[in-house]
Amino acid sequence: MSARFVTGGRAHAEESGERPSSGYGSWNTIKRRPKRGRPYVTSLTFAFALTAIMTALVLVVVLAIVWERQFMAYTRQNMQALADSTAAAISEAYAVEGELSEEVAAVAESASSVSSEIVVQVTTADGEVLYDDTWATSSGRGSGGRVGTRVPATVPTAENATVSAVITAPSGKVVGSVRLWALGSEALLTKTDAAFRTNSYGAIATAAAIAAILACVIGYFVSRAISRPIQRITSTAKQIRNGDLTARSKVAGTDEVGQLGETFDDMASTIERDLKLEHRLTGDVAHELRTPLMAMQATVEAMQDGVLPADDEHLEVVASEVRRLSRLIDAMLKLSRLENGTTELKTERTDLVYLVRSLVSSQHQLFHERGLHLRFVDETPHGELYADVDPDLLREAIVNLMSNAMRYTNADGWVKVSLRQDRSDVLIAVQDTGIGIAKEDIPQTFARFWRSDVSRERVSGGLGVGLAITKEIVDRHNGTILVESELGRGTTFTLRIPQRAPRQQDR
């Protein structure tokens, strides 16, 4: 079964929407004394409680204002209706008697019977008080307010504290008025109405308090549900910090916290893999440097001891190892400069068909000597394809891929280099019929000095940094590398490079 892998700064940018950059990174491990703060559950619960309390207060204030206006309008409407009905009854009596007398005004006693806290007063058009139901209280008699000291009640002076209705003759002339108000109140509220209003406010406040308490309880459990996976991630991070690289939070889900857990676990896996690779890399670097040094040391010591003659043949062995070591150091220096962005990218409009075709032609004899078949396939529609690239760096990247294919392809195998256009990108593919790469090894393909176990057993030679340099070159061109491979069937490396140079070429 074939495997597929894409790497490069552009591949990361396409997934995350960020600006493309190198895959190189570093971090420090300076430990600072953490500040002791409030637990997340407590903070979140406090936030829920504060929000609930503020919401309840706002609702109580708004509800109280609206309810107060509606209640006052309701009581005033009732009082006005009572005044209107009383004035209408007196007007009918006036039509029968022909005058507005105390006997006619006494019809207002029906309004007084509604509530002992409602004051009813009847006056003529000239302002003379004909009836006041407080007269009965003053005289101590229940004769309808028509006997006694007859001291009129004091009319409230507050605005909207009274209601009134006019008494009219059959001709429509206003002959008097009926005035109503609540006894001992500057508003149209009886003691019963005031008690009802107070009880209503108490009920609203109680409901708000219950709602706030429920919100606090619900907020506590919700905050615990939210903070539990975060605590697991924190605990896992501490385990990793203490050296347990296999620790995972196992937090998953489609929400933000679940995505955080999955991303954290992916990061932990990457760190574990990279640290293992670093340990392996240290051994590989030591091996790559030790091998030529030991060969030179053994040859020189043998010549010093007289075991080998100090002739041109043996001196060439030493010189060959020195050259190999020099090439390795140069390659590592070049890779470091590419990673750090100190290598200047000199882009120019280049015909890639001509570049790749000439490159394949120059390598044809070398492949022929190795018993391999090398060919170039031009899949462009017009036989030319231009792009803004650094021709020297791109040529080096393609040569590295071709050398890698030659090294891991058996005799009588073939290597194909193809070129085609895909929208605004250029695709350069190097395909071989070599030993292939295992699926689990593909992500490590571009690590410096890395070799799969199969390649270590079957193939030697090479500096071990060619593919790493190729990746950095492609990154500098804002491109990607696609690797498709199957053990025993071969490998295909595909470079995807935009035809137009990126705005910022140097990182």
Predicted pLDDT of residue 22: 39
Predicted pLDDT of residue 505: 43
CATH code of the domain in which 409 resides: 3.30.565.10
Q: Examine residue 19 and state whether it is found in any structural domain, yes or no.
A: no
Predicted pLDDT of residue 406: 93
What distance lies between CA 130 and its chain's CA centroid? 79
The answer to whether residues 193 and 290 belong to one domain is no
Last residue of a domain, one of 318, 340, 362: 340
Look at the chain and report how many structural domains it folds into. 3
Predicted pLDDT of residue 142: 42
What is the H or E stretch that residue 44 is in? Answer: helix 40-97
Half-sphere exposure of 397 (CA within 13 A, CB side): 29
The answer to whether residues 234 and 265 belong to one domain is no
CATH code of the domain in which 276 resides: 1.10.287.130
| Rounded-to-integer distance, Cα 138 and Cα 126, Å | 24
**pLDDT, block means (10 residues), the chain with 507 residues:** 60 52 42 59 77 82 84 85 87 82 74 72 85 59 43 67 87 88 74 82 84 82 83 89 88 85 90 77 69 82 85 84 80 73 84 94 93 94 91 92 92 95 94 91 78 51 75 91 91 94 51
Q: Examine residue 18 and state whether it is found in any structural domain, yes or no.
A: no
Contact in structure between 121 and 109 (CB atoms under 8 Å): no
Query: Structural domain of residue 391, as residue ranges?
Result: 345-498
Q: Which two tokens stand for residue 31?
A: 């430990």
The answer to whether residues 392 and 254 belong to one domain is no
In one-letter notation, the amino acid at residue 437 is I
| Rounded-to-integer distance, Cα 337 and Cα 155, Å | 98
User: What radius of gyration, in Å, describes the C-alpha atoms of the chain?
Assistant: 49
Predicted pLDDT of residue 97: 80
Last residue of a domain, one of 226, 242, 258: 242
Last residue of a domain, one of 316, 340, 364: 340
Count of CB atoms within 10 A of residue 407's CB? 17
The answer to whether residues 326 and 218 belong to one domain is no
Nearest residue to 129 via CA among 102, 165, 111: 102
Contact in structure between 454 and 483 (CB atoms under 8 Å): no
Residue carrying the six token digits 């070129």 = 419
Question: At residue 191, what are phi and psi to the nearest 5 degrees?
Answer: -60, -35
Predicted pLDDT of residue 274: 76
Query: What is residue 159's three-state secondary structure?
Result: coil
Query: What is residue 437's three-state secondary structure?
Result: coil
